[in-house]
Chain A
């Protein structure tokens, strides 16, 4: 590729042809402020905050969308540039509901940070803030248009990454806003509650519907036995809420802090992830040998389940009937565990900590009451747990490490990797291989299924059979497979689908920012956590073995069928 040399603020830099001024400046460690720019999205060039002077061009240029030319001379820090940026920001602030004191994104807000960076003072412009219009008639997502700066990032992720297209820009010019069609709530259109729009929003215009206060209330209720389960992906990201690098494995400190918060038992969704592998692995073999519908799709990602229910209901037979690990946990906590511990299930409150906003909606599904009660009572995102810990004043990082409670806290490395795209498939293959062949699997690392790429495939020899598998993440990638299946062009046996880009580590409830760079580090954390464990295959989980002996009897048995499996609904209309 051709190289060009340009001069920025008096320093020369050689970059590849086709780079933007912003990228070139970064190489020189010159920080040009940005607002609509997002490293993983298309260039929007709409906010003009990144403006710079280019010699020979009269108007200021937006550096995020101006390509370098050989010999170009750029000034990023002149009075004219600084004044122009301030003017732009002043206009944005004039139409922004800036009540930072009561905003979820305070101290993690790109607009607030920019305002500080540019030393903004009180604006002289008249405030014209759109009426605070909160849209939250659904279990997961809140939209507040009075905070929206109209960058369009949420639209891009919803249309181009998730293929849902629930939101779009409405009206024009001064009245332009980002929203849902016909003033409907997200629950009335095809939104899948993935929360990816939250993760890319630079400000506090979209956030999860918070349930923190319900958890506090349960914890203070003497009559309640409150148990908590934590999803695999949370342990490698919760640290980010406290300034630790992404991918730091904080499993044991997280257990300690949950106990300190007052939960009666601290359990692990990994336990039911292992259980899922046994149920789903057996379901897969059952379909394979019994002429069942193939390919079989995994079912642990509720955003994905809602997507196929909304858009491809004719293919619902392909979806595994297994409940997600979260829901299996809830159903067992209020039956098996209640019996074992002799606690009345009506007094048990099951709280989940999830990297996911769609999990809130999943827990609220009508049919998730197989224990005789609502199986999972309250779901918090990773971010909400972070806030709860901050509210409590406990310093998680300095707490001594603690272990999960038994028996629903015992798990294997196969369960940890559920948190990353490819992990469920890898975990399933580790087990299916050994169940089918009766031999020990030597190389248990299915490296080519790992990573945040949207579409991965592999052929795995299991006994005499070549098992063809695919792993997809993000709903646009899922759509590709669905269309292939529809056209009869998919010869896969088993497909893992995760709604969120990169899998649960990139979930809509995870710490912000969650750029691809950060996701890769979380993925690394996940596989490191797996490697450190002695047991790395789900069927070797001793607590799961006991669960079958004492309670469930066998995979796909009657009790499993009742508590651990579910059905789906055509929601296409």
Chain B
């Protein structure tokens, strides 16, 4: 398993480039190639070796960008905004709605690996707060009912 992972990482590095300036691009590509939407520890080590950047720097960059994750995530990553505009628009109700519907807390992944919940600081959708981002798609002006139907729609698609 480990060998396969490393091979895959090496292939990505070969495609994107093996110089330090390619760090961010490579990390994004590695994450995209993962079913669970994250970069594993072994992969991070391979990237640091493959590009000749220190592990501390690779880790620093991977933890700086909220789109990158070092923790296993769901196939659908639900990013909840915790910045002020969402906050004043009762984002916490939305958060609770997601938590209740999925049976997990923020920071966790559902048992079937389909969904994970996490906070981010602003997704650029303040005009339709409260808003969330699910993978690349933004959903705004949410309420409890919308949350439910969004999740149901995804589950239907996945069946």
Contact = CB atoms under 8 A, between A and B. Distances in A.
A159 B20 CA distance: 14
B59 A170 contact: yes
Contacts of A181: 44, 55-56, 58-60
Contacts of A159: 54, 57
Interface residues of A, number: 16
Contact of B56 (A166, A171, A173): A166
Residue among B44, B58, B63, B65 with most chain A CB within 10 A: B63
Contacts of B145: none
A125 interface: no
Contact of B54 (A168, A169, A182): A168
Contacts of B54: 159, 164-166, 168, 190
B32 interface: no
A180 interface: yes
Among B56, B65, B66, max chain A CB count under 10 A is at B56
Nearest to A174: B121
A51 to B, nearest CB: 27
Contacts of B57: 159, 165, 168
A187 to B, nearest CB: 14
A165 B61 CA distance: 14
Q: Is the interface of A mostly helix, strand, loop or mixed?
A: loop
Nearest to A180: B56
Contacts of A109: none
Main SS at interface, chain B: helix
Interface in A291-332: none
Contacts of A414: none
Interface string B136-149: 00000000000000
A6 interface: no
B59 to A, nearest CB: 3
B55 A189 contact: yes
A182 B64 CA distance: 13
A181 B121 CA distance: 22
A62 B66 CA distance: 30
Interface string A378-421: 00000000000000000000000000000000000000000000
Contacts of A172: 63-66
B4 to A, nearest CB: 20
Given A159-B54, A182-B41, A182-B44, A168 B59 contact: yes
Contacts of B70: 182
Interface string A345-370: 00000000000000000000000000
A227 B59 CA distance: 45
A419 B121 CA distance: 51
Contact of A171 (B41, B58, B64): B64
Interface in A172-216: 172-173, 180-182, 189-190
B63 A167 contact: no
Contacts of A190: 54-55
Nearest to B57: A168
Contacts of A180: 56
A460 B65 CA distance: 54
A84 to B, nearest CB: 24
B6 to A, nearest CB: 14
Given A170-B63, A170-B64, A189-B56, 14 more contacts: A159-B54, A159-B57, A164-B54, A165-B56, A165-B57, A166-B56, A168-B56, A168-B57, A169-B64, A171-B63, A173-B121, A181-B60, A182-B55, A190-B54
In the A-B complex, list the 7 residue pairs whose CB atoms are closest, starting with the nearest.
Answer: A165-B54, A181-B59, A168-B56, A168-B60, A181-B55, A181-B56, A171-B63
16 contacts: A164-B54, A166-B54, A168-B54, A168-B56, A169-B64, A170-B60, A171-B63, A171-B64, A172-B63, A172-B64, A172-B66, A181-B44, A181-B60, A182-B41, A182-B55, A190-B55
